Amino acid sequence: MQECTSRELLIYTIARLLNGVRHVAVGMSSPMPAAGAMLLRALDRKEGREPVQVSLLRSVKHNRFTGGSEELFDCAAQGRIDAFFLGGGQIDGRGNVNLVGAGTYPSTEVRWPGSYGSAYLYFLVPRVILFREEHSPRVLVEKVDFISAPGTSQPDIYRKGGPHALLTNAALFSFDAGPGRFRLESVHPGFTAHDVGDMTGFSYENPDCATATPPPDTDMLRLMRGQIRDELSETYPQFAQAMPGLT
């Protein structure tokens, strides 16, 4: 069987980051987080554990919600969602996310889709994974141009949610809410810690990290290229078609 692709490495890493959660929700246009959640669910079933509940907002088959985003927000407020994913046009070293645009607000030169419920979910969901496939200084900036969702809050502000990790195509970071800083946990194959430093616009702990992100084994690849690929095709047919299949 051919070696894992970079996207399969990310899917496997997402499944590892979700380990132990009871309910994970995945928003629109998020095929890799969706695949990672499905992979964890398949592993739970295979190993005899209660399977994680996966709610994909774009799916009919893999979504128990009947009220769309409204029901998602209600569940988050009731403490019934353990993990969620956020991306952003910009993410800074304090875990702040910008979904509005680049430049001086309100006359931003580049506009993005908007904040929607990002700040709300960032405060309520305990394990928010920041996911952005592109790892570059234009995305991972020292300070975002606009804060759509703040990574940290003052001690007197009630907040049970926040950034748990940051995953990109080059590396995996954890986040420590105390000092409000990221820590480099592992570097993906094909990159070095020096590469990650050059590609990141903010400072972080453990910059000389020598740990390589573990790849999926043959059994995991077989599961991704068979069952997970098939399940993903209902919601993301083009993405699933582009994934390697069983040979």
Residue 132 is part of which domain span? 85-210
Cβ contacts of 213-220, under 8 Å, gap ≥ 24: 213/9, 213/13, 213/171, 213/172, 213/186, 213/187, 213/188, 213/189, 214/186, 215/3, 215/4, 215/9, 215/12, 215/189, 216/4, 216/8, 216/9, 216/12, 218/1, 220/12, 220/39
- Considering the domain architecture, whether residues 236 and 199 belong to the same structural domain is answered as no
Q: Decide if 247 is inside a domain.
A: no
Q: Are residues 96 and 201 in the same domain?
A: yes
Say if residue 89 is in the same domain as residue 59. Answer: no
- Is 0.75 surpassed by the pTM of this model? yes
Claim to verify: residue 103 and residue 195 sit in the same structural domain: yes
Q: Give the chain's domain count.
A: 2
| Local confidence pLDDT in tens for the 247 residues of the chain | 679 999 999 999 999 999 999 999 998 889 999 999 999 999 999 999 999 999 998 888 888 887 777 888 999 999 999 999 999 999 999 999 999 999 888 888 888 888 888 999 999 999 999 999 999 999 999 999 999 999 999 989 999 999 999 999 999 999 999 999 999 999 999 999 999 999 999 999 999 999 999 999 999 999 999 999 999 999 999 999 999 998 7
Q: Same domain for 97 and 202?
A: yes
Structure tokens of 212?
């390589």
Residue 163 maps to a domain? yes
Radius of gyration of the chain, Cα coordinates, nearest whole angstrom: 18
Do residues 187 and 227 both lie within one domain? no
Instruction: Retrieve residue 219's tokens.
Output: 């059994």
